[in-house]
Chain A
Amino acid sequence: MAVQNKKLNLKDKYQYLTRDMGWEPTYQKKKDIFPDEDFEGIKITDWSQWEDPFRLTMDSYWKYQAEKEKKLYAIFDAFAQNNGHQNISDARYVNALKLFLTGVSPLEHAAFQGYAKTGRQFSGAGARVACQMQAIDELRHSQTQQHAMSHYNKHFNGLHDAAHMHDRVWFLSVPKSFFDDARTAGPFEFLTAISFSFEYVLTNLLFVPFMSGAAYNGDMATVTFGFSAQSDEARHMTLGLEVIKFILEQHEDNVPIVQRWIDKWFWRGFRLLSLVSMMMDYMLPNKVMSWSEAWEVYYEQNGGALFKDLERYGIRPPKYQDVANDAKHHLSHQLWTTFYQYSQATNFHTWIPEKEEMDWMSEKYPDTFDKYYRPRYEHLAKEAAAGRRFYNNTLPQLCQVCQVPTLFTEMGAPTKLSHRQLKYEGERYHFCSEACCEIFEHEPEKYIQAWLPVHQIYQGNCEGADVETVVQKYYHINIGEDNFEYLGSPDHKRWLSIKGVKPADEDKNAA
């Protein structure tokens, strides 16, 4: 008698460890087990049509991730022991990390929670397993990012309380509310929002600039994190595309629902990425590429090809992509001058770009920089030189949906704000754009609850009535250390001393 082979082949193992985890319930109704699966109106006729984008089982997942982790932490240790922070291009670069650690790493954690919750809601085992794997990836990313950047916390300001700041600081309500919006949606909208619109369509605009930016600016720790996360991101992108095709193929009634979600989440993602646009153009002393170039490659070209491919399902490109395409000439400059004037309330520093940087921008933004934005910096430089460094001492109006100050301008009219307002149940609401206003109109009950930082301060819910108290006590931003202008800041002075520059040479280095 032949001895049965006890070792399963990969295909069988995959089958046992994924699909066989799903079974038909006998003494409970399926509807009671998966109560969230239907209410969004998405019709799934056959879950077995789900193609697993990556045939990965838990045991191989652990093995693979553990190997990556070992290498990653060996490099973190070496980076710390060799004082790697001394080899970066310039201390201004660390401000990009401050933005990443408070704005992005907590989103990785929110994604972990989101996928863990969403995975539970699908009656299809393939989708459940994919969500579970991604949940663990996201948790790992959140942790390894914090470890990668923790070394900088020993040497620079503003990195000491990222999770706390994420929940409270005015501009961090932009990323926070983005993910809260997604996580409070149903499971199919969550996947369309995060797996498709964000991970598949827009993630390269977040990931490539930060990781290439780290490489260009000598930050080995963050680059290594990037490499370690790259294979995970590739899986997430594949899942994003699979998700959308699966939903669209299941039933034609799904098409208009998914189209509205794509319109909404493209725009929500685009507004979130406006923070990345200023990071790319202004916060990297050694520049990788301009925001406008990145948008052309990663959205206009890649996204264009994607939406061409999705045409056969009856899906068209996102409704307001024309506005986003036009904004590529202005976005980073409008954002940076906003943060420049509100630096008293941020955990990172801002500054006027150096002459070479402005020339680079003139080259990258030939139609807009010299006309609209160089004069701003010339004025601000003059004011700073006269001892009147500009801070805006009045709080700004915020958009009810994206929560960014209503600073954006009309398409084709870059000196006119694209403000919108409407009345809902007797209350007035204000928006940064037609697109955000339309998102509100679809689900007003959701957005009337928005926790808008400016209004919360005025309601007296942030431990103080004046900006200084709110910043120090409620935000945990250390005044005079974390915030204000970069030139002359403790970070700047520390960097000069690391580089052995005497104070007399300060002007030359700082100019």
Chain B
Amino acid sequence: MSVNALYDYKFEAKDKVENFHGMQLLYVYWPDHLMFCAPFALLVQPDMTFGALVDEILKPATASHPDSAKADFLKAQWLLNDEPFTPNAEASLADNGIDHKSMLTVTTPDLKGMAGVGY
């Protein structure tokens, strides 16, 4: 489908990667931990390693959850844009195939949040 307009309606996407000054957007969702109400929206360098993403960004972002200290994210189950994905901790995000506005879903099977209801 296409917008119904009075003229040739064509505009640039507002969030193209060029607008982020060399950085890119990345979303990370940790299911069963709804203390964080929505997936995180992160601004990341495409050449940072996956290991650095986990240690320097994801760990601090989740630190206030009791499960965070116990979570071994690198050994957890990952999805990249809803497809199964095995991250390489040494490789960059770009080399892991993580492009602008990608979403990572990380499931920690032994850690299911608080109160048995994924909080």
Contact = CB atoms under 8 A, between A and B. Distances in A.
- Asked if A pairs with B, the answer is yes
Interface of A: 35-36, 39-41, 186, 334, 337-338, 341, 371-372, 375-376, 379, 383, 388, 390, 392-398, 405-407, 414-417, 419, 421, 425, 427-430, 441-446, 448-452, 454-455, 458-460
Contacts, number: 145
B75 interface: no
Contacts of A444: 1-3
Contacts of A407: 37-38
A430 to B, nearest CB: 7
Contact of B39 (A41, A186, A396, A429): A396
Classify the interface of chain A: helix, strand, loop or mixed. Answer: mixed
A121 B33 CA distance: 50
A36 B115 CA distance: 56
Contact of A396 (B31, B41, B82, B101): B41
A421 B12 CA distance: 19
A405 B37 contact: yes
B47 to A, nearest CB: 17
Interface residues of B, number: 48
Contacts of A459: 15, 19-21
Interface string B62-77: 0010000000000000
A109 to B, nearest CB: 24
B40 interface: yes
Contact of A397 (B3, B13, B38, B43): B38
B74 to A, nearest CB: 19
B89 interface: no
A443 B37 contact: no
| Chain B CB within 10 A, most for which of A371, A396, A415, A445 | A415
Contacts of B43: 458
A383 B5 CA distance: 52
A415 B9 CA distance: 40
Nearest to B58: A394
A274 to B, nearest CB: 12
A375 B119 contact: yes
Interface string B12-31: 11111001110101010101
A449 B40 contact: no
A453 to B, nearest CB: 10
Top 8 A-B pairs ranked by shortest CB distance? A375-B115, A415-B118, A405-B38, A428-B101, A396-B38, A338-B37, A443-B3, A448-B13
- The residue among B21, B23, B37, B43 with the most chain A CB atoms within 10 A of its own CB is B37
A405 B34 CA distance: 13
B14 A450 contact: yes
A443 B20 contact: no
A451 B12 CA distance: 12
B88 interface: no
Contacts of A415: 32, 34, 113, 117-118
B81 interface: yes
